[in-house]
Structures are given as C-alpha cells and as structure tokens.
Structure 1
C-alpha cells in the first residue's frame, strides 16, 4: 500500500484494522484528523477508492467497501463504482474521458487534461490547488510541495472529511474547521472560538468553555494545513486559509505561529498587523476577528470581492456589481471612482493595489480557472 506508514502493530478488530497510532497516507495524517472529529465520523482515503476509515476512540479503523463499490466520502457510504467520482489509486484516471480535467493525486495542485483517455499533465499556479468538483484551480495549499511528496497528496481536508459539520484542529484548541458544500464545490473554512467559550468541543461540534479534556487532541501533529519540511530556517509563509496564522521554518520544519487577537499576518511586511490595515494572503478568511457581517475579501484588482460572515465565522463569497467596490465601513457596495477608491485603499489593506479599472495582473478568472 504505497505511501502508508503504520507506526504500530495492527490490531485486528471484526473486519477492520484498528490502528493505535499515526496512520499516514502520503501527506494525510489519518490519525490526527480522527482526533479532531467526533467519534464515529467516517473519513475518506487518498490511496484507494475502495476503503475508508471509521474514527473510534482507539484510532482510525480501516474498512473496505464490497466488490464493485467505491466509497463516497461526501455521503459517508459505499456506492457502485460507476456512481462515485474518485481518482485515488486509479491506474488511468482519464480512462474513457475526453475534453475534461481530473486531479493528479500525487502532485500538489496537479491535474490531468483527458485527451481521448490519454492523460496530459498540468499544474495550478503557486498557492492554488485543483478542485475536482469544479475542475478548476482555487486558492489553497497542500501539506507539502511536489518535490517533497512521497505518495499521494492531500490538497484539502475537505477531500476526506464529509461536508456539513464543524470539527477541530490538532494545532490549537480554539481552532475549528468547516467544509461547506455548494454548487461551486466544497470549500474549507477555518476560524477560532472567542469570548468566554474559547475551546472548540469536538463531540459537541461547537465552541465551549475551556476544558483540559477537550484540548487533548492538540499534539502538534499536523492534519493537512501546512508543508512539513522547509529549507531556510527563519523563513515565513502565510496560511492559505487563516489570515491570523503563519508558519516559521524552524529546524527545517514549518511551525504554525498565531498572531494576537485582532491581527493578521501581512504578506508584504511579513509581520502581524492590525486586521484592517493588514494585507493577508489572497483567499484567507477575513471573517476572522470581524465585528461586522460583511467584510472585504483580499482583492488587489478592484476591491469588489467581499464575504458574508455567519455567526460561526464561515464566509460566503460575493462580488459587487460593475463600477462598484465593497466598503466594509458602510457594509455595502459603493460607486467606484479613482479618488474614492484610492482613499479607501490607504486604510484597508485587503484592497492594497486595487484600482477602478482593475490592477495590471491577469484576470482572476483566467488565473484561477482551468478552462474547457
């Protein structure tokens, strides 16, 4: 089973394998993810379409679908293979396909263009991953770069965790994750608990009062949020999803570091800056630490992109009409003129570089979408 490392003796339990310590599939730490979801949650595999894991108190249990069936992690059940879109462990993911794109599961951000059953490889730009649902590149990061990958690559937690519920994280007791499914695909949202309820309760799927037992999952063993190895000690990089988190290369390993409450990691200055003035990485969730329901998305083009933030901090993306930009202070889209927009950009880092006619960079659709 390529890429899988079983670090302890396998215990046989009634048709499944109960694995007592870290189970790794390429860059996917199955055991770590299991500690961050409620007991009984089923997780997909990134090595085979035929099996999945059931998270028990003793660890993940490997379970296999019956012959001719594949596991659909979105529905947490096995279905006839012809009804499941899965590419893990498949010898030729383009078999029988033409004029479409499928993921290259062994390369971070990799994909294949299917040309009459022949795979033509390609890769998304830096800081983007391939979304098999939309068949397009989107903002995100993998656990490792293509050069450092051994086996399969987990592009996103939402490739193995079913959508529709909140779950925790192994790096911080206050952090929660949520996989949101809509017509455009499945998107990972990350936030932190605040106020008096600063601890995320995994089994309760919500923020709760601080408890030592709730934090036992915080082991520092990463799930999928950042590259594992790095070359230059002291180097920094932003987290693709959480604006207030960044990574510092320490002893050749990326170590998660957190800005103080109300601060974001500014990519241009490489320091934590007050949320409103910071220019974080494009695509991170600016609902973090927001006090209002509508916030700017990072948009250096024309400042027209914004998010609606629900009470849990999950962001839903929106765009202002033509010739308008989003003004967070007035909570709405306003008419865009050079003078008005320039004044707004000065004190709102999310729109740094934005102009009425758009920046000189490549059109966002062309830059992030694999076109048919």
Structure 2
C-alpha cells in the first residue's frame, strides 16, 4: 500500500496556508514569517518601505517613504526611479499627476505608459511626445535610441498569485510555519515555491538552512517537530503494512512502501474503536477478548474488571483506563470479563490464555 492510497483512505485534508491568506497581508503577518531585519514593501503601496524588527523580542518597525517620483525597489532595498522599478501594486497606485512640477526646466522624462514616448518639461508643465517610429526613449540618455540600445522594461502585471512575495525581495528564503521540515522561497514573477528538506533534516529558521532534525530550531509559529519513528524498521529490515504500536492494545501504525526504498518515517497512527483491540495476525480490530495483549488491558475500561493476560483465573480492577490493583478468583473458578464476575465454568478467552 502506497502513502497516496493511505491518505485517500483516511480522507486527510491538507490546508495550504498561502491560499487562505487575504489579498493583502498585514505588515505583522509578513514580518512574523521573515528573517529578522528584512526590508519589505508595504502591501498595497509602491513607495512605503518598512524594516521588520531586528530581533524576535523587538516590536518596533523602521519605516520610510520614497521621495517624490521614486518607488521602493524591494530587491535592492532602496528607492529608485519609477522607470527602473516594477511595483506589484502599481495597478492600485495613482502616479504623480505632474512630474515636471519638481523636474528641471527642459528635462526629458520617460512616459511610464509608452516606451516609445517621452515627456518634455517646460515651465513646470508636461508635454507628451513620441520618438520616431522604430525608436525607443532611453531615460538615462534622455534621447531616442534603437531597440538594440535599450530594453524596454516590462509593464507591471496585476497582483501576483502570492501575496507575501509581492512585498519581499526575489530569492528570499523563509520558514514554512505549517511544517518544520519545509521552507519557502519567492522566485521571479512573485511565485512562491515550497521546498522540502532532505530525509532526516528540518529547516532551521535562524540560519535559513536545512540541518539534522535534532539541531533544527523550528519557527516559533510552526508545529513542534515530531521525532521520526523507527516502527517501520531500518534500511536493512523494512516493515510495510499494519504494525501494532506496542504502546496500547488498540493502537497501530500503517507503514507505507516508499518509492525510494527507505522505511516510512512518518507512518499513520490509528486506534481501534472502543471495545476492540488490534490483532497483528489478521491486521484487524477484533473483540478485545479475542486478542492476546500483554499491555494494560484496562484500556477503554473505566471502573470495571478485566481478564489478565496469561491467567484466566485472575482479574484486574480498572480506573480511568488503567489498572489500579489485581486479584484472583477462588480455586477452580475463572474470571469472566463479560459478566464481571468469577464463575466455575471454564473460561478460555484468547485474552487470558497462557
């Protein structure tokens, strides 16, 4: 049985935290996932930047606004000319109505809507014009040039699919707060990649690297890292199928057959319904009296008496599912768990057989 089949049988629901987010994350949401001190672009802004707290204990955010006519470049952590920055939130912004109001008289500015066009400033007023056909306006040279001399920047696309990558630099690596063995990276186009550490490793959110599980410091928001189980055997002795958990009479693991030929280190753990114990011989949940279990048979039995493994004349008194004391019927009498009393009729339940 492969792991995919097991997951389908158990109707496991996987919730993707990214898709559950609203269109814009709050600054606190973003910084809670990021390495300390990282610079971000405030959601739904093009010129407002913030620096996340420099330590987990710090609460304050450093903040700034780019000078007029500039956008914040989240990849270089500084303000830059609008022509050089692709702002993921640009569709929500209102561009400066008149950039010539602060430009030198006679200046030529790029037309953000048209690579072939430009703006000429005279007496603080804008005059829009275009280069001859086949030429592009080069902002740095303030001149019309051939396409081979200038690459027209791509227009900002609409809000990218992932909200957190809109505000942080491309290539940023940060922890997955749902699983300590995984991490995320923002790639070109605002795409969020989910990555998995190798077997036996987990993601250390303080060093932003995968390290041996025992050395990993998980993100504070991530679930506690559970130790890898060896119930499914070793690489030289792999166990596949249904295995008693050896911690209770009703519990068992499902060890999947892994594609890489290694033991399943994350087997699914289940328990039989009340009144039934797991039978390793038949891989089934059976009436508790028809299963031999050498563990505490008071499991699931509150304030009752149960048969004792290996002696059908003995009994155990239960409280809150555990044995509190034991006793034995008179000579030639047997204890019957079903009737909760001693009887002269021979009892031969598998549960108490020698």
TM-score (norm 1): 0.34
